[in-house]
Amino acid sequence: MAVVALLLIAFVVQTARTITTGSGALRLVVTGLSAYVASDLISGVVHWAGDTLGDESVPFVGPNFIKPFRIHHVDQLAITRHDLIETNGNNCIVVLGPLAAAFLILPSRDGWFFDACVFMAFLAVFVVATNQFHKWAHQTNPPRIARVLQASGLILTTPHHDRHHAPPHDRHYCITVGWLNPLLDFIGFFRGAEWVITQVRPHWLHAGARVPVRAHPGHPGGSSPAARAPAAPGRSAEIRSPRGARTSCRDRGASVEGGGLTLEGGCRGPSPPLPSSPPRPASRAGGRPPPPRRLELSLPGMPSFDVVSKVDLMELDNALHTAQKELAQRYDFRGTNTVIERTPEGILVRTSDEQRAAATLTVLRERMAKRNLSQRCLDPGDVEAAGGKTVRQLIGIKQGIESETAKKIVKNIKDRKLKVQAQIQGDELRVTGKSRDDLQEAIQLMRAGDFGIDLQFVNFRD
């Protein structure tokens, strides 16, 4: 880091010596600006690659670059706990070589070659700064300089970056300033890159098959691309579409926390191990619902998937965090010591009075909507007096498919005479069929029907 700083100082001195004219200074500004945009693009490509390609077992790159990106979706705030070295060390190492090379060949005369070297120096600065800007975008209280730069739109802002952190994390990858994000998203830059990868090195894409397909009837944008992908007979692309490949470890973390879903393999490679489970007993006496996911119901070779209704707890926590942040800044909440947090029983709101409890719930609902999280999982309890001038409200989090709803879904599938079998397993469903087309049809049917809860389609098996 010190070496990088020294090199940069040397660059500044040398540049000040070489550039003496007004037009030279103008070219310097243009060079700087183009390096800034280039850094934005690089940050986007590296981030996309980290989110999308390979896994943590890749030598060197895996633990140093892929893992941090994936952890970042699970624990967004970890980055804010990193010190200066942790935040910027890796990028310093990356830029050191090119920066030193640029300095060694830096000519003493003005000209295009000089500009190219200066461009390299600018690029090094911005690449190193990117992690810092990203960190600031996640901080509740970034330093003053960061707030000024954010307010003027010169570096990455929190609302802009939030759009990447909203599921399914497939846009707004650029994290230096994000100027390029609208353009790259508009032209489908990263979707194109994913398509290219599926053509040349499909195994590089990490675990598309287990991506949970979200079904938010109220949010067309919340539905997973995998479900929208056209069914292609005989090809796995219908479920493992290139876009479906964007399983993120955030999903893994959420699911593990949400009750041990088997998405864990999803971050480890294209063929996650299936849970080793005993064969289904021929008959079950007693009528006790089978423990979820412990039984392998599908026949070998029969494609199947599971239907679950789980709340993405990591995303919920992120929504809670931003809600808390907003409440802390709101004038009308000053001095109320309002707290909104997740407890084992649900979401607990503590505040000064009933009115503010209602306002807190509204803020939470807004924050959840922003993250494409359905609010149908919320089950608000009564506001109770909690001693002194405080009240508390417990908001339950509904998880799983209730048996009545599950029966309704099964009946719906039977009525439509689809060539699939749907079986209730605890608070989940397993759908088995001979072909993926049939499964695709079942997914579409379930997405179209409104069963009063949100459904996710997970654990696709061939």
Residues at the site binding Zn ion, with contacts judged by CB under 5 A:
51
Nearer to Zn ion, 251 or 438 (CB): 251
Q: Closest distance between Zn ion and the C-beta of residue 79, in Å?
A: 7
Residue with CB nearest Zn ion?
A: 51
Shortest separation between residue 137's beta carbon and Zn ion, angstroms: 7
If the CB atoms of residues 44 and 222 are measured against Zn ion, the closer one turns out to be 44
Q: Which amino acid is at 97?
A: G
- The whole-angstrom separation of Cα 173 and Cα 190 is 9
CB under 8 Å to 337, separation ≥6 — which residues? 350, 351, 352, 390
For residues 191 and 330, which CB has a smaller minimum distance to Zn ion in the complex? Answer: 191
274-304 as b/e, with b when 16 or more CB fall inside 10 Å?
A: eeeeeeeeeeeeeeeebebbebbbbeeebbb
Choice between 319 and 378, CB closer to Zn ion: 319
Q: Which residue, 310, 311, 304, is CA-closest to 423?
A: 304
Nearer to Zn ion, 138 or 447 (CB): 138
Q: Residue 165's closest CA among 370, 446, 440, 401?
A: 370
Residue 51 vs 454, nearer CB to Zn ion: 51
Strand, helix or coil for residue 241: coil
Bridge partners, residue 422, by sequence:
431
Q: What is the DSSP letter of 207?
A: -
Residue 448 CB, shortest distance to Zn ion, in Å, is 31
Least gap, CB of 176 to Zn ion (angstroms): 12
CB environment 144-157: b (16+ within 10 A), e (fewer):
eebeebbeeeebbb
Q: Least CB distance from residue 112 to Zn ion, whole Å?
A: 36
- Smallest separation (angstroms) from Zn ion to the CB of 47: 6
In whole angstroms, give the CA distance from residue 138 to residue 152.
Answer: 17
